[in-house]
Structure 1
Amino acid sequence: MKRMREKDIPAFVQEVAATGCDICAIGPGLYVLGDVDVPRGKRRGLYKKLREIDARYGSRDHLRHKIASHLTSIGRYINARSLESEAWVQFPASGRKIDDEAPNLAAVTAYDVAHLGIYAAMLVAEADGADWSDVARVTLNIDPNREPERARRAWASHLARARWLATSDFREIDLLQ
């Protein structure tokens, strides 16, 4: 299996960004690709380009921290270190339909794509050490005082999904599902 080399990180990031797909670091060791703003009719073409980039560079999980570091160095990051700023609060659910449980499939779903910002916010909140109940209230729009079991279950499920998405390679995910 082909493995990306460290010297290829800048070119990889540049190629992904050139597709119009946002790529940014979340904390010191994670990065995400986002395509939420891509019109539905153009997503298949985007996914094809991303698969081609993936095939050219190969597996890169072993470089996850170095990719995140490079993204941070060029200003493509969400600051996950400042508890005072609570950067994760910038991504509230704000009316989006949040299911009680995130998908548990080995493929990216339409739900995942629609909630990528929520997943990113949850990862940032975790890195910031935010209390789970605050995260459930702000990012999932579930009041943990009124619905403690539902809030905890939804928070745990969505955080697990966010972690999975943040650490999966393209080849591990069927982006067209």
Structure 2
Amino acid sequence: MSLVSGNDYVIRAVRPGDWERVKQLRLDALRDPIAHLAFLETYDAAAARPDSFWQDRAVGSGEGSTTARQFIAEAPDGGWAGSATVLIEEAGSEDWAGFPVERRQGHVAGVFVRPEHRGKGLIEALFDAGLAWAWESGVERVRLFVHEKNTRAQAAYRKIGFEASGRVVAFSKDEAQEELEFVVERPL
């Protein structure tokens, strides 16, 4: 657990009992005007999931999990201001797009900060926690995918130290989209 410098936000991993808040934050993220560029699922699909899905998600990406970790930024009033999740991808497996995973790596997904909390350093704090956990987990690099038109997110990821790898992944949800892969290598 850590505090965001200059603020009273607490960055921590989710806990199994947080499942209702995990669900609510995800649904709120999917209502964000940029969600159609930033998330692979729709609000309706997420809202239709049973409570057991959210309970499993909180356990599977919470404190103690060795394969995924969801970090949240808890605001001074106790509300959740944002979140980022790091998934571990094992060498020799296939990623979400069907490509082979060549080395053990982290994959950041589900990045969101509520509009009223943006500009306060929360993205950096969430990534600091996520990257620290990934490096402790022994990954060689961490990657993420960002929509080619989501320039604000691209700028935030570059500021944190991620660089475009040159890999472009095309997929379709509601419309044809291209996602750019950004990576950061494990520090020496």
Instruction: Tell whether the structures are fold-level matches, with TM greater than 0.5.
Output: no
Q: Which has the higher contact order (CA 8 A, sep 6+)?
A: 1
- Provide TM-score, normalisation by structure 1: 0.29
More helix by share: 1
**Larger proportion of strand:** 2
